[in-house]
């Protein structure tokens, strides 16, 4: 199966991507993983990307796309893959479609993790990070009533990225950039939505049920 996973920050994409890919016996391919592999491996694309990152600039789309193309051409991706973090917009989606057509394949499905904005805020704004060991706790899910890490005794704090105003801004950016992508895949009749609220195992079960009709 060849699929793309989309969803807002806090929807649990990273966690679900691992479980789904494992259940389907296909590689999970994220842009972050691709970047790290190319940079640490010293590839020509990695060196080029590092030049941009060292300057604090965004890596151009063409470099990212070239990395994705190289990764999708590897042996383990020939029978299927799960893409997480790419494409991020409609132009990238159109490039991916052409790229796969050159390989003689096409996407089977685009799975959207659907979650209410207030639930995302609750998930992310409730996180607290230990200043000593780095472990993450949650004020609701871990029933944390104090600011002390139960693992090492360190003090807990809220990262700037996890503050409510920052989370809501990230959601605004996601809607601006990705809402057109979701509409694009809906028009292509590839989009399937899955309720991402509830326990991780339950969300995985829903996702696998949604994917079942599209499996070989």
**Which residue in 2, 28, 71, 127 is the catalytic one?**
127
Six-digit token string for 21? 């890919």
Six-digit token string for 169? 């801004």
Report the first-to-last Cα separation within the chain, whole angstroms. 7
Return the DSSP state at 161. G
170 carries an active-site annotation: yes
13 carries an active-site annotation: yes
Tell me the backbone φ, ψ of residue 12, rounded to 5 degrees: 90, 25
127 carries an active-site annotation: yes
Do the annotations mark residue 211 as ligand-binding? no
**Which residue in 50, 69, 88, 97 is the catalytic one?**
88
Do the annotations mark residue 87 as ligand-binding? yes
Do the annotations mark residue 58 as ligand-binding? yes
Do the annotations mark residue 55 as ligand-binding? no
88 carries an active-site annotation: yes
Do the annotations mark residue 93 as ligand-binding? no
Do the annotations mark residue 71 as ligand-binding? no
Do the annotations mark residue 63 as ligand-binding? no
**Which residue in 97, 168, 170, 205 is the catalytic one?**
170
Q: Rounded CA gap, 134 and 123, in Å?
A: 18
- What is the 3-state secondary structure of 45-105? HHHHHHHHHHCCCCCCHHHHHHHHHHHHCCHHHCCCEEEECCCCCHHHHHHHHHHHHHCCC
Do the annotations mark residue 114 as ligand-binding? no
**Which residue in 13, 28, 128, 206 is the catalytic one?**
13
Cα–Cα nearest to 147, from 133, 157, 136, 138: 157
Do the annotations mark residue 132 as ligand-binding? no
159 carries an active-site annotation: yes
Rg of the chain taking only CA atoms, in angstroms = 19
Do the annotations mark residue 15 as ligand-binding? yes
Binding positions for AMP are 31, 36, 57-59, 85-88, 92, 159, 170
Give the residue ranges of the annotated binding site for ATP. Answer: 10-15, 127, 198
Q: Which residues are annotated as a binding site for Zn(2+)?
A: 130, 133, 149, 152
Binding residues: 10-15, 31, 36, 57-59, 85-88, 92, 127, 130, 133, 149, 152, 159, 170, 198
Q: Which sequence positions are flagged as catalytic?
A: 13, 88, 127, 159, 170
């Amino acid at each position: 199966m060849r699929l793309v996973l989309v969803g807002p920050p806090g929807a649990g994409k990273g966690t679900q991507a691992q479980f789904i890919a494992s259940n389907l016996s296909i590689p999970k391919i994220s842009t972050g993983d691709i970047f790290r592999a190319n940079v640490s491996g010293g590839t020509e694309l990695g060196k080029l990307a590092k030049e941009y990152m060292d300057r604090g600039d965004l890596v151009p789309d063409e470099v990212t796309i070239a990395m994705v193309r190289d990764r999708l051409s590897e042996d383990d991706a020939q029978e299927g893959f799960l893409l997480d973090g790419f494409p991020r917009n409609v132009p990238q989606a159109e490039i991916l479609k052409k790229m796969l057509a050159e390989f003689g394949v096409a996407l089977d499905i685009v799975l959207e993790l659907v979650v209410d904005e207030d639930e995302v805020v609750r998930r992310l704004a409730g996180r607290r990070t230990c200043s000593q060991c780095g472990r993450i706790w949650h004020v609701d899910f871990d029933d944390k009533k104090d600011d002390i890490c139960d693992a090492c005794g360190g003090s807990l704090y809220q990262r700037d990225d996890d503050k409510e105003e920052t989370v809501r801004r990230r959601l605004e950016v996601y809607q601006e950039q990705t809402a057109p992508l979701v509409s694009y895949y809906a028009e292509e009749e590839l989009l399937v939505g899955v309720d991402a609220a509830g326990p991780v195992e339950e969300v995985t079960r829903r996702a696998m049920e949604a994917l079942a009709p599209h499996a070989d």
